[in-house]
């Protein structure tokens, strides 16, 4: 295996490991999607779309950084964090207040905890993945710096893209784990709390993203 292929393989493995990074909201989104989706295939598809959205954002930044250099990242990082945080809060608000889709409980067919159906459209999940991919977390930041240091635009872009694919693939088992948790909760009387808890966590994560640059917290 030559050096170029080795770097791509390494980027893919790092992307898989990135799925487990605690600073991301991937687990929250996975839990919400697997709870609200009607079919397992739909839930997996939406989680993959979320990962692809993040991969697209990372790839775009990787291309720009490989072309213009790393100084660009320092200039736009704070505005991206604040913007992404604000949109994350809004997304969480809609999760909390949505009333267009009713999730049907597994027992007696009772309807519980309405969820906004617009949040489960493929374009909504993909768009939110793109937004969440804009402010780079520590692992993404390191990958972007690595891509910029390669000295080749297309090689740097490909490295970040493969990293994003690794993260997307890693989201599938994470989503299945979250689906198992969701299924276990659905067998209890606490099922109606799932969308509320995920929405509150999402809004809290968005608020953290907004406030972190203000208080000088490194993400």
pLDDT tens digit sequence for 83-132: 878 888 888 887 777 543 333 344 334 444 444 455 667 788 888 888 88
Q: What is residue 105's predicted lDDT score, i.e. its pLDDT? A: 40
Interaxial angle between packed helices 138-149 and 153-186, expressed in degrees from 0 to 180 and rounded to the nearest 10: 160
pLDDT(10) > 80: yes
pLDDT tens readout for residues 192-207: 777 788 888 888 888 8
Predicted confidence band at 19 (pLDDT cuts at 50, 70, 90)?
Answer: confident
Query: What does the CA dihedral 116, 193, 133, 7 come to, rounded to 10 degrees?
Result: -130
In this prediction the pTM is 0.73
Average pLDDT over residues 41-52: 89
**Each residue of 173-191: pLDDT tens digit?**
888 887 788 778 777 777 7
pLDDT of residue 84: 78
The residue ranges of every structural domain in the chain are 26-208
The torsion angles phi and psi of 108, rounded to 5 degrees, stand at 65, 10
């Amino acid at each position: 295996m030559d050096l170029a292929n080795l770097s791509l393989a390494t980027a893919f493995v790092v992307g898989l490991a990135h799925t487990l990074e605690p600073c991301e909201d991937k687990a929250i989104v996975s839990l919400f999607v697997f709870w609200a989706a009607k079919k397992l295939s739909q839930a997996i598809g939406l989680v993959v779309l979320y990962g692809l959205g993040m991969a697209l954002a990372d790839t775009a930044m990787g291309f720009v950084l490989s072309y213009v250099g790393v100084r660009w990242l320092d200039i736009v990082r704070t505005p991206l964090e604040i913007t992404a945080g604000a949109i994350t809060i809004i997304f969480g608000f809609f999760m909390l207040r949505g009333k267009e889709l009713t999730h049907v409980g597994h027992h007696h067919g009772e309807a519980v905890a309405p969820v906004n159906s617009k949040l489960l459209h493929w374009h909504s999940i993909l768009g939110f993945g793109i937004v969440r991919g804009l402010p780079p977390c520590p692992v993404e930041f390191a990958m972007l710096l690595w891509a910029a240091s390669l000295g080749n635009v297309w090689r740097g872009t490909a490295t970040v893209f493969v990293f994003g694919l690794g993260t997307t693939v890693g989201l599938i088992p994470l989503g299945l784990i979250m689906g198992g948790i969701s299924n276990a909760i659905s067998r209890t009387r606490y099922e109606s709390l799932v969308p509320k808890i995920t929405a509150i966590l999402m809004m809290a994560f968005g608020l953290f993203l907004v406030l972190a640059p203000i208080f000088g917290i490194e993400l």
